[in-house]
Structure 1
Amino acid sequence: MSVASGLLPTRPRTGFGRLGRAAGSPLVRLIVKRVLLAIPILLGVSVLTFWVLSLIPGDPARAMLGMNATDAQVEALRHEYHLDESGPQRYLDWLTGALHGDLGTSMVSSQTMSSMLADRWAVTFELVALAFIVSLAAAVPVALLAARWPGGVFDRISMLCSVTGLAVANYVLALLLVLVFAVEVNVLPAIGYVGLGQGLGPNLKSMVLPTLAMAIPLFCFYTRFLRGDLVDQMQSEDYVDTARAKGIGPWRVLWMHAFRNSSFGMITIVGLNIGTLVGGTVIIEQIFALPGLGQLLLQGINTRDTVVVQDLVIIFAAIAVFANLLVDVLYAVLDPRIRYGSH
């Protein structure tokens, strides 16, 4: 194009230009901001965990070798795992190794943490995923039915069940489930885990009781929260009255209008509960003898295996932080106003 025409030549659109525009989008800036905020949180958790473990009385090397071990054996073990170094130096060594992908070696089993995590993460992931899916899939329809006829028979029964379920601890519920379905009725296994490699049916059968032990309290909490929010919107929001005035049916108003607005609150509750759900695996996996990360953490605490405890606490904290990051991103996707108001 000539200059005489009065128009300047335009730059061709390149992949770098599109990448730059994407990097400058409000959503990407929100994600970067949350990731940068997560880094000091994880560092703080690691420092606090390391400090608390150092305050536990006794010598981990002596506890592992037993009272009959000689002083030379204890000192050799302390030197092998750098227990003879100062606390700050040991933390810096651990942090440097973790940043390079080396999570250390178990003081009890002498296995690398990478191999131990590879053997166990799938069990915990399956348990958490099943509990999350079951609780949410059951809570949404029950809450919708209860909110459709507030004060009715179904609403009263569902709220009574929710309050009762929230009042029972998950480990007590786990023992009751074992007593009923594994001892009295004898239709489900009480303990043990069957991998997916041995068949989907046996795998799911071994996971029914631990999944229910974790899903039922979540189901009760989700149901009560969602039902209360739906009823409040159906009775007090102007947009509900407007939809009714247009002749829209009650079920459509409840599903298309009230539930869509209530989903924002549910996203927050679900995101906050991910960390609690993962933490609950410590007790449930121990009760049902599931070889997951929760059982490994409890074993590490009992055997004073500081490497295992340190790494798993950071992993659990990272999962909770990632869940909250995912909630922020979902908020920004569902409501663009959050993206532009975040910077």
Structure 2
Amino acid sequence: MRTEERSSLLGRVAGSPLVRLIVRRVLIAIPLLFAISVLVFALLEAMPGDPARQQAGMDATEEEVESVRKRLGLDRSPVERYVSWLLGFLTGNLGRSTVSGQSVAVLVGERMAVTMELVLLAFALSLVIALPIALLAARKPGGVFDRIVMVISMTLLAVPNYVLALLLVLVFAVSLRTLPAIGFVPIEDGLWENLRSVTLPVLALGVPISCFYARFLRGDLVEQMNSADYIETARAKGVGPWRVLWVHAFRNSSFGLLTLVGLNVGGLVGGTIIIEQIFAMPGLGMMMLQGAMSRDVAVVQICVFIFAAVAVFANLVVDVMYAVLDPRIRYGSR
């Protein structure tokens, strides 16, 4: 009986629209990530210069350069080298950096914590800023607070994050001398010092995105409040204005915000490449940029793969949250 119940349960799980959605998205993600890895490898191959000559030194003899080329595997064809990298990746062997000679897996493990902390804190900060501001602005559209919010958000959206980063350094590190301009302090060396070291890069990453979220959410909330029939019904029943805004309008507007968040995760992760350089943060973004400049294929390949996988995973989570928040969405029929 237990076997039959287990089989029945597995059958219901396998037939669930949500499970089919996840499987379908994963099957789409696999060839997408494969295509990205091929494209990155081809672009690195097309870059001018000889990595073997660069590592051996400009004064090295041809024999020394050829020795470095064989050691790095550059004497093989591009197809052979890519297949070797792909097979190594699938078996957990990420190879070694052609510049430092260190294991790429070790380098990624050391750097990933820095980048993930920046991304997660910037993402949390963007929502913490955007949600209350959008709700307050949508409460009285066209009011003083709404106009101030729109002007400030438009101004900050027009400023690139690297320019904002330099302005933050000028104000908080140079003028006020309250926060460090460069460097990263691990959490194990002290939580307070860790937070101080990441405050400026997190602000540079999170503030522009929070403005984008706030503008979008405010506009969608105002549209819901002015035209949706269910809002008029709630008001007719005597529901208070804040409850109408938060419970009724925000729930429907959250779907659009979810889509926007999923689409912006890739941009948020990509923004770390510049921000980590400005603040000298030893994360994946800095490692990838340095690897691209030195044509360290193994390093660049895995960094791009991680960034792409994060973006794909974020969109998968958004799709799943759609199904959870609104069961009327029939993913299984698509």
CA deviation digits over 1:135-192, x for unaligned, max 9? Answer: 1011000000000000000000000010001000000000000000001111111111
1:152 aligns with 2:130: no
CA distance in 2: counterparts of 1:288 and 1:173, whole angstroms: 12
1:21 aligns with 2:12: yes
Pick the aligned partner of 1:256 from 214, 238, 247: 247
Q: 1:99 to 1:11 in 2, by over 3 A?
A: closer
Contact 2:95 2:298 in 1 (8 A): yes
After superposition, residues 1-343 of structure 1 pair within 5 angstroms as 13-343=4-334
Aligned amino acid, residue 327 of structure 1: V
Q: What's the RMSD between the two structures over aligned residues?
A: 1.3
Contact 1:300 1:309 in 2 (8 A): yes
Contact 2:133 2:214 in 1 (8 A): yes
1:302 Cα deviation (Å)? 1.8
CA distance in 2: counterparts of 1:237 and 1:304, whole angstroms: 55
> Where does the alignment leave 5 or more consecutive residues of structure 2 unmatched?
none
Q: 1:247 to 1:317 in 2, by over 3 A?
A: same
Q: Please give the TM-score of this superposition, normalised by the length of structure 2.
A: 0.97
CA distance in 1: counterparts of 2:65 and 2:275, whole angstroms: 35
Aligned amino acid, residue 191 of structure 2: L
Q: How many residues align?
A: 334
1:219 Cα deviation (Å)? 0.9
1:329 Cα deviation (Å)? 1.0
Considering only CA atoms, is the larger Rg found in Structure 1 or Structure 2? 1
Please give the secondary structure, in 1, of the residue aligned with 2:272.
helix
1:198 Cα deviation (Å)? 1.1
Aligned amino acid, residue 93 of structure 1: S
> Where does the alignment leave 5 or more consecutive residues of structure 1 unmatched?
1-9
CA deviation digits over 1:255-307, x for unaligned, max 9? Answer: 00110001001111111111111100011111111111011011111222122
CA distance in 2: counterparts of 1:198 and 1:90, whole angstroms: 41
Contact 1:30 1:342 in 2 (8 A): no
Please give the secondary structure, in 1, of the residue aligned with 2:328.
helix
Q: 1:127 to 1:342 in 2, by over 3 A?
A: farther
1:341 Cα deviation (Å)? 4.6
CA distance in 1: counterparts of 2:107 and 2:3, whole angstroms: 52
1:103 Cα deviation (Å)? 1.1
Aligned amino acid, residue 237 of structure 2: K
Q: 1:91 to 1:341 in 2, by over 3 A?
A: same
Aligned amino acid, residue 229 of structure 2: D
